């Protein structure tokens, strides 16, 4: 009898505990952990290219006002930014060749700065940093035949470079394949290769067939995609030329790639889709031809959802327009976004300018500001001045901008931090925390219930005694 | 005996004049009249002294006379600016101040008030000049009245002007006398080359110094009778391998910094000046002049890469035929007519692609035919000047590597100017109104951009009228007041109008920059007959310049540039200069410039900021001591408050440079030893381009 009662009690406890945990888990997933808010980091440049800097802008609150910290750590003008976790990285490109790491909580205090130059070279023109983890990333270099494999947590310059990816097979005859951007899907790295022939200056640069090279991340070896191509390389031949942005949309498991062709001279660009599993490609948006090119050249792209995307039409110097379109419909007509027509619009090269609220951050260089677009109704939610012209926007996923000094270093010391560093770390952390909290709560209730039960039993005992006394029964047990 | 000495003096007068250069005191401001006076005094005293010595009298102590090497007389030709009448604020740097020194033009003129020079490296490297906060594009550089600025723009590279054949450097700030065919907002620097002098003049110099710097120069000038010739040649070279701290492009990482020698910064240059002249009469003269300059220069990369072999070779030749005819007709006109041909070829070779965007090997050829007529009419109450100037310039870039993509540009320019110096109150007050009319026709022939887009042929025509007025008031012998107001334009260059192969687009709608300049100031010159202070001079001027339609470069979202008129500049400041000769052996020279070069731009990030590349304060101080044939000096140059960029985010380190030198004159030989940048401080006039540290130079000059 007593064993049965105990088992029922334990069962009941477990059920209660799980219910509580479930409630809290749902709450946390919906609300989100307070420590994982995004911060936008914007690379900025003076309109005469005499200097550059970066700005940090909190993503919240939606609707504004968002306060920007501008002109942080001024430097040369040919810069870009990339971010991972609470850290962002400023890359100084042509004839500067370095990467600087910052913690978003101390956005003007470098944690480290390392050179990205090969011995004996004048410039390798680093373009982008694609992250696998805090300990591994790929540095793409426009003026080199190899991409570096780097450790972003290295504490000395000697430990920064840990390997190379060889892309020399994609050389178009001028010595370089012109690698530009990349994205990671699962265990694969996809790298865009522009392959512009720029051997003889000032003769016009010529476009060539453009490719995505695919690498296996665990082994850092190139994958033979098996896609037929005229150049005998292992990568994916694309139907567009002079590649720019690349983006992976998890919602439909599709990679999108944008190409510009040749500005004002050749309309061989547009937007193409790539299946990361089968490597099949398809045209999504064609920029037209020499006679008909309604948007000009396609100079940027961001895909918000399987049926909602944006691209920039470059009609001329300072005359760009942001259009919305449906990527699920081939050559879906673009709709100009009010307020973002006939402007100078930069960036959108990462393809991921969407923040956690699905707001699209647009670099408006005509007005030296970031226009934050609500993608649900394509209206500008807020415009934030960056003082200099915004060039590119990335988001840190943890921390908040502040004036304190960054801690930097390896992310391996703290359990929560390590968890948070993974793409789904925030959610996993929320569930675990909820579970623990729920168990604690149930334990509290049970303990207090037991005490109450004890008091209740005692009172019941008293009552029973009273009843029994009234009933004339014996009162001692 | 006294009568005999005076008779002797009278008979020797012509010889005295000819050989007077051998008996001269080495002072800065010695004019011809004073020299003659000294000679007369000397020869008057000498026979008298001898006479006295023959008779038993009290001993006479003669004043010390220092025998030095020869000095060239300053000559005046029709067409030269009459500095005694001009209201313009000007400086003149004479040859003896820089002859036989290891200095280039930049280092000489940067010590003047209101002048800023920026260099990209050591001796021979690209350098530009700014006057009173104006950009280098707004400063006109002339050589013997021939404009060196060309239509392609970018100002004049001062390192392409050798000092070995220069007689004087004239700097006119803010206001340009009508004598110059072209004027602009910043002012004018006129390089006057050596002119034929009577008799025989010979000079040779050699020098050696740090970074394997070597110089050789010499000239011979002979004018035996009506005809004359002058030949001057110079050679200057340096390895420029100075040591500097290379940060490897990582400003925040000191671990990878290293001290290195500058790579691929060597240069060598040669120049020859030949002049032949003939005096038909005292009033009619013809001159044929040829100036040849050639320089081969290495271009270092930003990270001092040892493998860099990029080069820029420059060849320039200017041929001039000049006819001066004075006292013509019933009105006694003085005239100067000049025809000139300029050819400049620059070959840029970067076949490794270490400097620019990709592999390049390009030749840029500029040819210009010019004609100039200057007329001067002197009366008792005024001096009327008329100037006519015509130029036809062709700019032709040539791709040495691949298929030719011609983008030839042509500029035809015609200017006429009229100026009157009104002499009032017995010449104490001179009012100088003037006006210029300039007509410019530009043409670009069709070509192709670097992306293969077609560039259509295009042309444009512009007319400008630029008036000016100045006043010079000389109420006291030692005090002069000056004030000027002038309007000038700076027309867009070929680069700004037509672009450059597509990385930079053209903009044929560009308006010329228009500036209104104003200045007011005074000059004091005191000469005192005491050993405490012998000479005191002081110049102070307030200046102001308002420039509209400032041409600024803007870049769009994909990094393609274009020139646009979206800014204005407002510059005002004060320049002051002082010179004091004191305690018999010492001279103190100094100047200070305070300026506020403000940018008024439509771009918010630039508006209200200081114009980039201009200092806010500059100081120069020099103390010189001379005892008999020894001279030594120490000087300090300070420049503060410069920003590299237009948004004023990148502040340049304040510049402080101490130089010192010593020289000894032994008969006709002058020995000089100089030390520059004694503090061994590292500076960058242009961001990322280090200048040399401490250096030493020795030179020797012989003059006959």
Q: Is B552 on the interface with A (CB under 8 A)?
A: yes
- Interface contacts (A, B; CB < 8 Å): 179
Q: Which is nearest to A81 in space by CA: A302, A426, A363?
A: A363
Q: Give tens-digit pLDDT for A306-362.
A: 999 999 999 999 999 999 999 999 999 999 999 999 999 986 665 558 898 999 999
Angle between helices B32-54 and B2-19 (to 10 degrees): 140
Instruction: Say what the pLDDT of residue A420 is.
Output: 28
Instruction: Say what the pLDDT of residue B449 is.
Output: 58
Q: Which is nearest to A372 in space by CA: A53, A105, A66?
A: A66
Place A443 in a pLDDT band, splitting at 50, 70 and 90. low
pLDDT at B272 over 70: yes
Residues forming a β-bridge with B610: B598
Q: In terms of pLDDT, which residue wins out, A12 or B344?
A: B344
Q: Is A344 on the interface with B (CB under 8 A)?
A: yes
Identify the CATH homologous superfamily for domain A36-419: YVTN repeat-like/Quinoprotein amine dehydrogenase (2.130.10.10)
Lowest mean pLDDT: which of A329-338, B38-47, B136-145? B38-47
- DSSP 8-state assignment for residue B96: G
Cα separation, A264 vs A317, whole angstroms: 10
Instruction: Say what the pLDDT of residue A449 is.
Output: 43
Instruction: Say what the pLDDT of residue A216 is.
Output: 98
**ω into residue A65 within 30 of 0, thus cis?**
yes
Name the domain count of chain B. 2
| Contact (CB<8Å) A202/B501 | yes
Instruction: Say what the pLDDT of residue A459 is.
Output: 39
pTM: 0.83
Cα separation, B637 vs B629, whole angstroms: 26
Q: Tokens at residue B164, please?
A: 């070995």
Instruction: Say what the pLDDT of residue A66 is.
Output: 94
Q: Is A92 on the interface with B (CB under 8 A)?
A: yes
Among the three residues B47, B67, B87, which one is the final residue of a domain in this structure?
B67
Place B451 in a pLDDT band, splitting at 50, 70 and 90. low
Place of tokens 């200081």: B610
Chain A residues in contact with B556 (beta carbon < 8 A)? 317-318, 344, 365
Q: Give tens-digit pLDDT for A8-20.
A: 776 676 666 566 5
Mean pLDDT in residue range A94-108: 96
| Contact (CB<8Å) B405/A203 | yes
Cα separation, A367 vs A383, whole angstroms: 10
Q: How far is CA B89 from CA A121, B184, B430, B522, B577, in A?
A: 50, 15, 14, 9, 12
Cα separation, B389 vs B412, whole angstroms: 11
Q: Is B263 on the interface with A (CB under 8 A)?
A: no
Among the three residues B38, B67, B96, which one is the final residue of a domain in this structure?
B67
**ω into residue B426 within 30 of 0, thus cis?**
no
C-alpha atoms less than 13 angstroms from C-alpha of B410 in its C-beta half-sphere = 10
3-state class (DSSP) for residue B662: strand
Q: Tokens at residue B103, please?
A: 């200095």
DSSP states of B119-158 as a string?
ESSSTTS-EEEEETT--GGGEEEEETTEE---TT-S---G
Mean pLDDT in residue range B84-96: 91
Instruction: Say what the pLDDT of residue B37 is.
Output: 42
pLDDT at A166 over 90: yes
Place B185 in a pLDDT band, splitting at 50, 70 and 90. very high
User: How far from the centroid of its chain's Cα atoms is residue B118's Cα?
Assistant: 14
pLDDT at B678 over 80: yes
Residue spans of the domains in chain A: they are 2-31+430-471, 36-419
Where are the strands (E) in A134-185, listed by range? Answer: 136-141, 146-150, 161-166, 179-185
Instruction: Say what the pLDDT of residue B67 is.
Output: 42
pLDDT at A438 over 60: no
Residues forming a β-bridge with A190: A183, A214
Residue at B89 is within a domain:
no
User: What ipTM was assigned to the predicted interfaces of this complex?
Assistant: 0.85
Among the three residues B17, B38, B67, which one is the final residue of a domain in this structure?
B67
For the CA atoms of A458, A464, A467, A473, what is the dihedral angle to 10 degrees?
-120
Q: Give tens-digit pLDDT for B155-183.
A: 899 999 999 889 999 999 989 999 998 88
C-alpha distance from A359 to closest chain B C-alpha (Å): 21
Q: In terms of pLDDT, which residue wins out, A65 or B41?
A: A65
Residues 386-405 of A with CB under 8 A from B: 387-388
Mean pLDDT in residue range B99-126: 91
Q: Cα–Cα–Cα angle for B690, B693, B699, nearest 5°?
A: 120
Exposure string for A35-71, b = 16+ CB within 10 A, e = fewer: ebbbbbbbbbbbbbbbbbbbbbbbbeeeeeebebbbb
Residues 253-292 of A with CB under 8 A from B: 262-266
pLDDT at B332 over 70: yes
Q: Is B508 on the interface with A (CB under 8 A)?
A: no
3-state class (DSSP) for residue A128: strand
3-state class (DSSP) for residue B110: coil
Q: Is B456 on the interface with A (CB under 8 A)?
A: no
Instruction: Say what the pLDDT of residue B404 is.
Output: 56
C-beta neighbour count of B81 within 10 angstroms: 21
Instruction: Say what the pLDDT of residue B677 is.
Output: 96
Q: Is B448 on the interface with A (CB under 8 A)?
A: yes
Exposure string for A85-122, b = 16+ CB within 10 A, e = fewer: bbbbbbbbbbbbbbbbbbbbbbbbbbbbbbbbbbeebb
C-alpha distance from A90 to closest chain B C-alpha (Å): 12
Mean pLDDT in residue range B505-511: 88
Percent of residues, chain B, with pLDDT higher than 70: 87
Domain range for residue B30? 1-67
Cα separation, B665 vs B703, whole angstroms: 11
Q: Which is nearest to B148 in space by CA: B88, B85, B105?
A: B105
Instruction: Say what the pLDDT of residue B250 is.
Output: 94
Q: Give tens-digit pLDDT for A283-308.
A: 999 999 999 999 999 999 999 999 99
Instruction: Say what the pLDDT of residue B205 is.
Output: 94
Cα separation, A238 vs A269, whole angstroms: 10
Cα separation, A185 vs B448, whole angstroms: 42
Instruction: Say what the pLDDT of residue B8 is.
Output: 41
Chain mean pLDDT for chain B: 87
Chain mean pLDDT for chain A: 83
Q: Give tens-digit pLDDT for A244-274.
A: 999 999 999 999 999 999 888 899 999 999 9
B549 contact partners, CB below 8 Å, separation of at least 6: B511, B512, B513, B514, B565, B568
| Nearest CB to B253 within list A49, A74, A113 | A113
> Are B530 and B391 members of one domain?
yes
Q: How far is CA A464 from CA A5, A456, B576, in A?
A: 21, 11, 112
| Contact (CB<8Å) A49/B561 | yes
Q: Give tens-digit pLDDT for A19-57.
A: 655 655 555 454 444 445 899 999 999 999 999 999 999
pLDDT at B40 over 60: no
Chain B residues in contact with A206 (beta carbon < 8 A)? 452
Lowest mean pLDDT: which of A112-121, A141-150, B491-500? B491-500
Lowest mean pLDDT: which of A212-226, B308-322, B349-363, B637-651? B349-363
pLDDT at B673 over 70: yes
Q: Tokens at residue B74, please?
A: 């300053």
| Contact (CB<8Å) B358/A98 | no
Q: Give tens-digit pLDDT for B548-595.
A: 999 999 998 888 888 999 899 999 999 999 999 998 899 999 999 999
Q: Write out the H or E segment, with its range, that includes residue A373.
A: strand A369-374
Residue at B145 is within a domain:
no
Q: Is B453 on the interface with A (CB under 8 A)?
A: yes
| Contact (CB<8Å) B357/A201 | yes
Biggest alpha carbon distance in chain A? 117
CATH for B229: 2.40.170.20
A9 contact partners, CB below 8 Å, separation of at least 6: none
Angle between helices A425-471 and A2-31 (to 10 degrees): 140
pLDDT at B12 over 60: no
- DSSP 8-state assignment for residue B689: B
Question: Under a CB-based contact definition with an 8 Å cutoff, are residues B89 and B483 in contact?
Answer: no
Mean pLDDT in residue range A380-404: 88
Place B437 in a pLDDT band, splitting at 50, 70 and 90. very high
């Amino acid at each position: 009898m007593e064993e049965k009662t105990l088992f029922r009690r334990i069962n009941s406890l477990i059920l209660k505990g799980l219910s509580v945990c479930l409630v809290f888990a749902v709450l946390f997933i919906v609300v989100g952990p307070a420590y994982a808010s995004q911060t936008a980091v914007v690379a900025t440049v003076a309109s005469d290219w005499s200097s550059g800097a970066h700005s940090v802008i909190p993503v919240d609150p939606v609707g504004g006002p968002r306060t920007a910290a501008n002109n942080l750590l001024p430097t040369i003008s040919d810069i870009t930014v990339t971010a991972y976790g609470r850290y962002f990285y400023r890359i100084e490109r042509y004839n500067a060749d370095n990467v600087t790491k910052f913690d978003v909580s101390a956005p003007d205090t470098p944690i480290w700065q390392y050179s990205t130059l090969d011995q004996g070279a004048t410039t390798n023109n680093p373009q982008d940093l694609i992250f696998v983890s805090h300990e591994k990333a790929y540095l793409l270099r426009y003026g080199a035949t190899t991409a570096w494999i780097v450790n972003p947590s290295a504490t000395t310059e000697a430990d920064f470079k840990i390997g190379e990816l060889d892309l020399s097979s994609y050389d178009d005859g001028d010595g370089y394949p012109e690698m530009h951007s990349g994205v990671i899907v699962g265990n694969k790295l996809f790298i865009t290769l522009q392959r512009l022939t720029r051997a003889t200056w000032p003769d016009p640069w010529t476009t060539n067939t453009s490719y995505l090279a695919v690498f296996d991340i665990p082994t850092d070896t190139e994958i033979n995609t098996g896609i037929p191509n005229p150049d005998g390389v292992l990568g994916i031949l694309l139907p567009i030329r002079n590649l720019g942005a690349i983006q992976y949309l998890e919602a439909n498991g599709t990679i999108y790639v944008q190409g510009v062709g040749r500005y004002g001279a050749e309309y061989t660009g547009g937007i193409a889709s790539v299946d990361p599993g089968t490597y099949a490609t398809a045209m999504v948006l064609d920029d037209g031809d020499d006679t008909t090119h309604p948007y000009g050249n396609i100079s940027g792209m961001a895909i918000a959802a399987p049926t909602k995307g944006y691209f920039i039409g470059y009609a001329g110097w300072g005359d760009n327009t942001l259009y919305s379109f449906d990527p699920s419909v081939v050559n879906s007509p673009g709709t100009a976004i009010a307020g973002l027509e006939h402007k100078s619009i930069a960036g959108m090269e990462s393809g991921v300018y969407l923040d956690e609220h699905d707001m699209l951050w647009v670099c408006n260089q005509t007005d030296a500001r970031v226009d934050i677009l609500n993608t649900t109704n394509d209206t500008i939610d807020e415009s934030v001045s960056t003082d200099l012209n915004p060039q590119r926007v990335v988001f840190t996923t943890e921390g908040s901008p502040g004036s304190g000094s960054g801690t930097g270093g390896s992310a391996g010391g703290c359990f929560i931090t390590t968890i948070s560093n993974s793409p789904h770390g925030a959610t996993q952390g929320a569930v675990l925390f909820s579970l623990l909290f729920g168990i604690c709560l149930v334990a509290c209730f049970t303990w207090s219930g037991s005490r109450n039960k004890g008091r209740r039993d005692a009172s019941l005992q008293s009552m029973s005694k009273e009843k029994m006394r009234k009933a004339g029964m014996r009162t001692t047990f | 005996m006294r009568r005999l000495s005076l008779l002797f003096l009278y008979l020797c007068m012509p010889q005295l004049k000819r050989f007077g250069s051998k008996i001269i005191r080495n002072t800065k401001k010695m004019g011809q009249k004073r020299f003659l006076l000294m000679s007369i005094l000397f020869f008057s005293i000498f026979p008298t002294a001898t006479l006295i010595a023959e008779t038993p009298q009290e001993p006479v102590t003669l004043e010390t006379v220092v025998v030095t090497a020869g000095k060239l007389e300053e000559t005046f030709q029709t067409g030269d600016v009459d500095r005694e009448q001009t209201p313009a604020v000007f400086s003149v740097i004479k040859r003896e101040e820089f002859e036989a020194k290891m200095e280039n033009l930049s280092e000489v003129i940067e010590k003047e008030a209101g002048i800023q020079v920026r260099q990209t490296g050591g001796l021979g490297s690209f350098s530009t000049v700014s006057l009173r906060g104006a950009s280098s594009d707004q400063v006109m550089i002339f050589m013997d009245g021939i404009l060196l600025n060309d239509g392609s723009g970018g100002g004049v590279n001062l390192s392409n002007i050798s000092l070995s054949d220069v007689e004087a450097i004239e700097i006119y700030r803010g206001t340009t006398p009508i004598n110059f065919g072209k004027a602009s907002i910043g002012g004018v620097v006129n390089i006057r080359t050596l002119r034929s002098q009577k008799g025989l003049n010979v000079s040779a110099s050699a020098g050696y110094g740090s970074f394997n710097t070597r110089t050789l120069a010499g000239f011979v000038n002979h004018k035996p009778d009506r005809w004359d010739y002058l030949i001057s040649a110079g050679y200057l070279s340096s390895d420029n391998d100075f040591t500097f701290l290379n940060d490897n492009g990582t400003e925040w990482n000191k671990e990878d910094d290293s001290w290195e020698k500058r790579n691929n910064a060597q240069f060598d240059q040669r120049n020859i000046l030949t002049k032949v002249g003939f005096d038909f009469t005292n009033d009619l003269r013809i001159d044929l002049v040829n100036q040849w300059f050639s320089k081969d220069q290495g271009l270092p990369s930003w990270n001092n890469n040892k493998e860099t072999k990029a080069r820029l070779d420059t060849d320039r030749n200017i041929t001039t035929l000049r006819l001066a005819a004075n006292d013509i007709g019933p009105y006694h006109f003085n005239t100067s007519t000049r025809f000139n041909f300029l050819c400049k070829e620059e070959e840029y070779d970067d076949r490794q692609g270490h400097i620019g965007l990709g592999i390049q090997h390009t030749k840029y050829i500029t040819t210009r035919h010019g004609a100039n007529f200057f007329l001067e009419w002197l009366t008792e109450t005024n001096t009327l000047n008329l100037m006519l100037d015509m130029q036809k310039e062709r700019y032709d870039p040539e791709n040495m590597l691949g298929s030719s993509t011609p983008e030839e540009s042509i500029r035809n320019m015609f200017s006429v100017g009229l100026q009157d110096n009104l002499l009032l109150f017995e010449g104490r007050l001179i009012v100088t109104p003037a006006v210029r009319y300039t007509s410019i026709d530009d043409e670009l022939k069709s070509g192709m951009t670097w992306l293969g887009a077609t560039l259509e042929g295009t042309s444009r025509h512009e007319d400008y009228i630029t008036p000016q007025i100045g006043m010079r008031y000389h109420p006291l012998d030692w005090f002069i007041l000056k004030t000027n107001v002038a309007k000038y334009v700076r027309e867009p260059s070929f680069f700004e109008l037509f672009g450059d192969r597509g990385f930079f687009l053209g903009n044929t709608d560009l308006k010329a920059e228009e500036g209104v300049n104003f200045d007011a100031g005074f000059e004091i010159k005191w000469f005192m007959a005491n050993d405490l202070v012998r000479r005191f001079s002081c110049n102070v001027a307030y200046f102001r310049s308002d420039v509209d339609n400032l041409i600024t470069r803007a870049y769009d979202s994909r990094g393609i540039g274009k020139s646009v008129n979206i800014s204005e500049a407002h510059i005002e400041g004060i320049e002051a200069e002082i010179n004091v000769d004191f305690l018999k052996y010492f001279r103190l020279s100094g100047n200070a410039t305070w300026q506020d070069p403000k940018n008024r731009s439509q771009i918010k990030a630039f508006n209200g900021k200081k114009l980039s590349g201009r200092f806010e304060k500059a100081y120069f101080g020099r103390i010189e001591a001379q005892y008999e044939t020894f001279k030594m000096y120490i000087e300090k140059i300070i420049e503060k408050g410069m920003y590299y960029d237009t948004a004023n985010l990148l502040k340049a380190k304040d510049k402080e440079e101490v130089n010192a030198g010593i020289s000894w004159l032994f008969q006709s030989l002058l020995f000089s030893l100089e030390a520059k940048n004694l503090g061994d401080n590292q500076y960058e006039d242009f961001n990322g381009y280090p200048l040399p540290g401490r250096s030493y130079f020795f030179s020797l000059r012989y003059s006959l």
